[in-house]
Chains A and B, each alone.
Chain A
Amino acid sequence: MDAIILQILNGLDKGSAYALIALGLTLIFGTLGVVNFAHGALFMIGAFCAVTLSRILNFSFETIDPGKTDFLGNPATVETAYLEHWFGPEVGGAIIDWSVPLAILFSIPVMLVVGFVMERGLIKHFYKREHADQILVTFGLAIVLQEIIKYFYGANPIPTPAPDAFRGSLDFGVLLGFDPNAIIYPYWRLVYFLFAAVIIGAVFAFLRFTTFGMVVRAGMADRETVGLLGINIDKRFTIMFGIAAAVAGMAGVMYAPINSPNYHMGMDFLVLSFVVVVVGGMGSLPGAVLAGFLLGILESFASMNEVKSILPGIDQIIIYLVAIIILLTRPRGLMGRKGVMEG
């Protein structure tokens, strides 16, 4: 039982990342009709916002320490962060320690600008082109973006730890009446799940309860009619692209302490997220979220030794297997709408 609960927690955690990326993908597809294969790259850029802010906060000056030598035997230089120099080791150190949560604030404007530039500079020229053209150009863009990141940050993963307060893990089992150490779950992964829930809730609330959101939803349902009412729907859709980019970016920031960011991480998530979108139903926001969590949990269960002993290798194909079954039985996905990518 404890193993099952642990895998459900794992699945919710994985599903959080899938759902956040798939949500952004669906927002872009639902509003602009663009299949954006560069969306994983936005997630990756978000993670590198955390790396960048961490480096900015760690800007240091060097002093020579005559008591130490470097690897060549020369007097060693000691680096002191300006923040620690200005505000003292405790306050300065605390600011540096909280660089990942602070990076959320840093990432929002950055990702809005990246999203805006991406949409106005390239993607808008492909609105009326075939989906195949859109996929090719956005996939190419994703490769360009990851190579740019690799050029500046290198190919190796860069450790970006969570604040000290969130390191370690929670003995979840004790809370549920199990033996100590039966169900241990890292604090930051719980934070990530809660964060994802808040962001998903905020996006839905924004679309449901604001006038802007209402117009966007109307535009998603019938773009032409909304345009005939004199509303500049294109402008709103461009803003939605920026919001989707910001959602992907924030998901990337918060993911940085879970797995050290590397230039390829966007691609690792992209294909899975597309499967999530298709399973959820193209253009369906609730479908994307539902499918994200569903596939995350299924993937976790498929990794259990008990399951793998019966079906070896199932952990590597489960998501695609479920996608095939769902698309055979429900061709529009779990919550897909009629007429989307049809005919």
Chain B
Amino acid sequence: MSKTTLTRRGVLKSGAIAGAGVALPTIFTASSAAAYMNEPTGSSVTLGFNVPQTGPYADEGADELRAYELAVEHLNGGGDGGMMNTFSSKALKGNGILGKKVEYVTGDTQTKSDAARASARSMIEKDDAVMITGGSSSGVAIAVQGLCQEAGVIFMAGLTHSNDTTGKDKKANGFRHFFNAYMSGAALAPVLEQLYGSDRKAYHLTADYTWGWTQEESIVAATEALGWETVNTVLTPLAATDFSSYIAPVLNSGADVLVLNHYGGNMVNSLTNAVQFGLKEKTVNGKNFEIVVPLYSRLMARGAGENVKGILGSTNWHWSLQDEGSKAFVRSFGEKYGFPPSQAAHTCYVQTLLYADAAERAGTFNPCGIVEALEGFEFDGMGNGPTLYRGEDHQCFKDVLVVRGKENPESEFDLLEVVEVTPAAQVTYPADHPMFDGGELGECNPGS
């Protein structure tokens, strides 16, 4: 006869394990009646806007949220329609998406991967969001993209510039409209050669995380192809605020170009420190010392004030563009909010319209239908010229802007001037390019 001993601890342990076991299969599982995750059954469809509402990128997140609200308004037939009027696809009718009114919920990424995943998970599980979009960091984008793949919903990335988002970390359910670090290098290189020549010595300061690494790799490759020499590449802590001890060695390194692979507060502080140390006025190797900020953001450039004057960089979009799509978006956004939109706002607005258009063309919200509709989709009228959503990696290929800090700005928004619009062909790379190697797109996941 066997003897069974029951202890309180044993019961609790078994209960916890059994509870987790029961709960596990219900996580990210569509209801048995649904064909896919969060299939809308009522008269509305819910989108999840996951943006930084707190933390260092909160202002950028606020601009993204404004753009999303504007997109929802336009999709539901409100306002002047914005880019829906200039979009080459005419599937959107201003009556929501597939006749369902568009509603939205918001989450706060805090620019932290774990917080972003938690808010995305909450929007998927509790609010039945059928698509997640937004963000201002590559680390967050990659984390949320992975979650959406697992959950079986579409992820339309916001501002993410790391090669990895559509490189080694690409996912079938994820799509990026924003440009990437490789494209920045490819767009900047000819302008750098034209303005600064092919005999230069570059010193890189790089933020020590995924985006910084891929940005440095891209710019080094692009400039070395011109004949530039890379004198040194130095990783700086993401939490660094004072870059003086990293700038000081540049002075006597023999370099005549400083490349700041920094974004946000890092960029503001490192550029400010570099200018304080007189680098812009310095002459090295018989040439004027130059500073390059490969990824520019107007919102961030404001923080650096006059220090951005004359500094070259690249950007995904700028409100001063004169194509019909950009003008329509700037008009809608400007009249609603009183100031021009940022590039983060632009990419988020466009992503929302692209998702809605894909659903209309596919005739379903099923993620696999959306994926099929977006893969290889060519469009125009969204502010970046003719654009392709490439099927192999879900990356948009379009023109890239090379910009420079304006010497005599006429307003607080007039900080950057477009130096060159680099055609899409010049920034296009093969899907198996070594910088994007290592990951598998996989199969779309409808979540059921």
When C-beta atoms are compared, the residue in chain A nearest to B308 turns out to be A159
When C-beta atoms are compared, the residue in chain A nearest to B234 turns out to be A305
- Chain B proximity of A57: nearest CB distance (Å): 16
The 8 A CB mask of B281-298 against A (1 = contact, 0 = none) is: 110000000000000000
Q: Does B246 contact A (CB under 8 A)?
A: yes
- Chain B proximity of A17: nearest CB distance (Å): 8
Q: Does A300 contact B (CB under 8 A)?
A: yes
Are B410 and A68 neighbours in the complex by a CB distance under 8 Å?
yes
Which of B58, B302, B307, B411 meets A70, CB within 8 Å? Answer: B411
Q: Does B225 contact A (CB under 8 A)?
A: no
The 8 A CB mask of B316-336 against A (1 = contact, 0 = none) is: 000110000000001100110
Task: Report 15 cross-chain contacts, Cβ distance below 8 Å, ordered by A residue.
Answer: A6-B251, A14-B244, A71-B339, A150-B58, A154-B58, A155-B55, A155-B56, A157-B268, A157-B303, A159-B304, A159-B306, A182-B251, A260-B305, A308-B234, A315-B245
9 nearest A-B residue pairs (beta carbon): A159-B305, A157-B303, A303-B245, A155-B58, A169-B278, A186-B276, A300-B245, A6-B248, A157-B268
Are B252 and A168 neighbours in the complex by a CB distance under 8 Å?
no
Q: Does A13 contact B (CB under 8 A)?
A: yes
The 8 A CB mask of A300-333 against B (1 = contact, 0 = none) is: 1001110010000001100000000000000000
Are A157 and B234 neighbours in the complex by a CB distance under 8 Å?
no
- Chain A proximity of B86: nearest CB distance (Å): 17
> With contacts A157-B265, A158-B303, A305-B234 known, is A265 near B241, CB below 8 A?
yes
Q: Does A39 contact B (CB under 8 A)?
A: no
> With contacts A3-B252, A184-B277, A308-B234 known, is A155 near B57, CB below 8 A?
yes
Which of A10, A155, A189: most chain B CB closer than 10 A?
Answer: A155
When C-beta atoms are compared, the residue in chain B nearest to A159 turns out to be B305
Which of B239, B248, B302, B335 meets A159, CB within 8 Å? Answer: B302
Which of B244, B305, B413 meets A13, CB within 8 Å? Answer: B244
Are B244 and A260 neighbours in the complex by a CB distance under 8 Å?
no
> With contacts A159-B302, A259-B269, A260-B303 known, is A186 near B277, CB below 8 A?
yes
Are A72 and B335 neighbours in the complex by a CB distance under 8 Å?
yes
> With contacts A168-B281, A186-B277 known, is A3 near B249, CB below 8 A?
yes
Give CA–CA (A3, B307) in the complex, Å: 25
Q: Does B160 contact A (CB under 8 A)?
A: no
In the complex, chain B residues whose CB is within 8 Å of the CB of A161: 305-306
Are A156 and B59 neighbours in the complex by a CB distance under 8 Å?
yes
- Interface size for B (C-beta < 8 A) is 49
Which of B59, B252, B302, B331: most chain A CB closer than 10 A?
Answer: B252
Are A304 and B276 neighbours in the complex by a CB distance under 8 Å?
no
- Chain B proximity of A256: nearest CB distance (Å): 11
Give CA–CA (A72, B339) in the complex, Å: 9
Are B232 and A159 neighbours in the complex by a CB distance under 8 Å?
no
Q: Which residues of A contact B (CB under 8 A)?
A: 2-3, 6-7, 10-11, 13-14, 68, 70-72, 76, 150, 154-159, 161, 168-169, 181-186, 188-189, 258-260, 262, 264-265, 268, 299-300, 303-305, 308, 315-316
In the complex, chain A residues whose CB is within 8 Å of the CB of B331: 72
Which of B299, B331, B410: most chain A CB closer than 10 A?
Answer: B410
- Chain A proximity of B103: nearest CB distance (Å): 27
Give CA–CA (A186, B304) in the complex, Å: 17
Are B272 and A315 neighbours in the complex by a CB distance under 8 Å?
no
- Chain A proximity of B304: nearest CB distance (Å): 6
In the complex, chain B residues whose CB is within 8 Å of the CB of A68: 410
Q: Does B438 contact A (CB under 8 A)?
A: no
Q: Does B340 contact A (CB under 8 A)?
A: yes
Q: Please report whether the interface of chain B is mostly helix, strand, loop or mixed according to DSSP.
A: helix
- Chain B proximity of A80: nearest CB distance (Å): 14
- Chain A proximity of B258: nearest CB distance (Å): 14
In the complex, chain B residues whose CB is within 8 Å of the CB of A70: 411
When C-beta atoms are compared, the residue in chain B nearest to A17 turns out to be B242
Give CA–CA (A8, B342) in the complex, Å: 41
> With contacts A260-B272, A305-B249 known, is A71 near B244, CB below 8 A?
no
Give CA–CA (A169, B281) in the complex, Å: 10
> With contacts A157-B269, A189-B276 known, is A181 near B59, CB below 8 A?
no
When C-beta atoms are compared, the residue in chain B nearest to A74 turns out to be B334
Q: Does B226 contact A (CB under 8 A)?
A: no
Give CA–CA (A10, B413) in the complex, Å: 34
In the complex, chain A residues whose CB is within 8 Å of the CB of B239: 268
When C-beta atoms are compared, the residue in chain A nearest to B248 turns out to be A6
Are B59 and A189 neighbours in the complex by a CB distance under 8 Å?
no
Give CA–CA (A7, B242) in the complex, Å: 13
In the complex, chain B residues whose CB is within 8 Å of the CB of A258: 242, 272-273, 276
- Chain A proximity of B70: nearest CB distance (Å): 15
In the complex, chain B residues whose CB is within 8 Å of the CB of A186: 276-278
The 8 A CB mask of B225-268 against A (1 = contact, 0 = none) is: 00000001010010101101110110110000000000001001
In the complex, chain B residues whose CB is within 8 Å of the CB of A6: 248, 251
Which of A259, A262, A299 meets B245, CB within 8 Å? Answer: A299
Q: Which residues in chain B, 47-78, are within 8 Å of chain A measured between CB atoms?
A: 54-59
Give CA–CA (A260, B307) in the complex, Å: 11
Are A71 and B413 neighbours in the complex by a CB distance under 8 Å?
yes
